[in-house]
Amino acid sequence: MRKLLTCCLLAGLLFSCSKKSNPDTPAPEEHPKTYTVKLGVAAEITEVKSSLSASQATATPLVLASNDLMAIQVYSRVQGTAGTYNPFAYALFDNTGNISLGLLGGYEYKFVANIVVDGKTKIYHSYNGYGAPFSLSNLTTNNVTNNFITSATVYYINIEYGYSYLPSGLSSSSYYYRPNIDRYYGETAGYVPSENGTVTVNTKRTVFGAKFVASGLTDGQLKIEMKDGPTQYISTTTPATTIQDIFSFHQVQQAWATDTYTETIPVTITWIKSDATVVPLGTKDITFQRNMLSTINITVSNTSRSSGVAITQESTPMGTGTTTNF
């Protein structure tokens, strides 16, 4: 019995020494103070000329249009540590009026904002909420709340990526890693709350533009497939010989972090004639740059084989561009 008691005392001393041997590891406060912090989001200023134009060096306070959607994910970690940020709170907004959140003292915070322009139209919506990029880690859709929901286990899982569900018909959707949506993304990390504090998340446009111009097409249609993006068509049954759209990058967070971010994407052009003959015109890797409009010119010769089709690419300022020949 005396030996057992001695062993217990030694174990207690060893445990006590072990706790004191790491005095540099901060611990969260036992009863942390709560600070109410106002949150603002600023958007990169862009001008639309004949293209997605070059962005300016300034940002302006964001005001959401009636159909825009903004998701904010908040993460936390013990103040003074270099560990991983953990989910703290999330919310989906359709207005930016008076956004505030209660933050605990003794922690530092990271804020991530993701905005989809005209998101109420562009993103798939069911009776219980919006799909990706606004879907949650518990594999559910997400409704607009305009207030934060505190959770360490439920969070946005696609907020850093292009992955999105777009409507594709009545009560149905299709997913794309490079959807044709206009999107902004931003982060602020290392924020320590204080009395009457404010924090601003500066966002950047994380998209690229693609313009396809067809000439010489007198029969059937051109099928344009950009990898991981929606399929598009130019047809002789409509007067338009040009289609243009904006696409989200797959790696949205990386596009925010690097102003001149690019992704090289395979683009496949197929000529489908009116008699159902399918003529593959080729596949080419085309490099698209953030906030740049690339124009791809497609010239079709009805008397030639696929080798007679010329496809060139040019980027406009958005930039001086390059030419790509198939």
Beta bridge partners of 103: 35
The tokens 């159902």 sit on which residue?
A: 276
Structure tokens at 99: 């956004």
What 3-state DSSP class applies to 244? Answer: strand
Give all strands of the β-sheet with 293-299 in edge-to-edge order.
Answer: 242-248, 207-215, 293-299, 310-316
- Is 62 exposed, middle or buried, given 0-12, 13-18 or 19+ CB atoms closer than 10 A? buried
Residue type, 157: I
Is the omega angle on the peptide bond into residue 133 within 30 degrees of 0, that is, cis? yes
Residue 44 has what pLDDT? 75
Q: What is the Cα–Cα distance from 149 to 106, expressed in whole angstroms?
A: 20
Segments in the chain forming alpha helices (H): 2-20, 119-122, 252-257
Residue 25 has what pLDDT? 47
- The Cβ of residue 50 has, within 10 Å, a number of other Cβ atoms equal to 11
Q: What is the mean pLDDT of the chain?
A: 83
Task: Decide: 159 and 72 in contact? Cβ < 8 Å.
Answer: no
Task: Decide: 221 and 62 in contact? Cβ < 8 Å.
Answer: no
Residue type, 68: D
Low-confidence ranges of the chain (pLDDT < 50): 1-25, 47-51, 54-57, 304, 306-309, 318-326
Residue 243 has what pLDDT? 94
Three-point CA angle 202, 48, 68, nearest 5°: 50
Half-sphere exposure of 188 (CA within 13 A, CB side): 19
Q: What is the Cα–Cα distance from 263 to 250, expressed in whole angstroms?
A: 8
Q: What is the Cα–Cα distance from 228 to 250, expressed in whole angstroms?
A: 9
* Domain range summary for the chain, segments of one domain joined by +: 34-205, 208-316
Task: Decide: 180 and 247 in contact? Cβ < 8 Å.
Answer: yes
Q: Which CATH number is 208-316's, of 1.10.10, 2.60.40, 3.30.420, 2.60.98?
A: 2.60.40
Residues 227-233: contacts with CB under 8 Å, at least 24 apart: 227/178, 227/265, 227/266, 227/267, 228/162, 228/176, 228/177, 228/178, 228/265, 229/176, 229/177, 229/178, 229/179, 229/180, 229/265, 230/166, 230/174, 230/176, 230/179, 230/180
The tokens 């009863």 sit on which residue?
A: 31
Residue 26 has what pLDDT? 55
What 3-state DSSP class applies to 221? Answer: strand
Beta bridge partners of 213: 242, 297
Q: What is the Cα–Cα distance from 242 to 278, expressed in whole angstroms?
A: 21
Q: What is the Cα–Cα distance from 93 to 113, expressed in whole angstroms?
A: 10
Q: What are phi and psi of 71, to 5 degrees?
A: -100, 135
Residue type, 186: G
Q: Is this structure's pTM higher than 0.85?
A: no
State whether the Cα torsion 259-228-183-155 is positive or negative: negative
State whether the Cα torsion 124-127-128-129 is positive or negative: positive
Task: Decide: 247 and 257 in contact? Cβ < 8 Å.
Answer: no
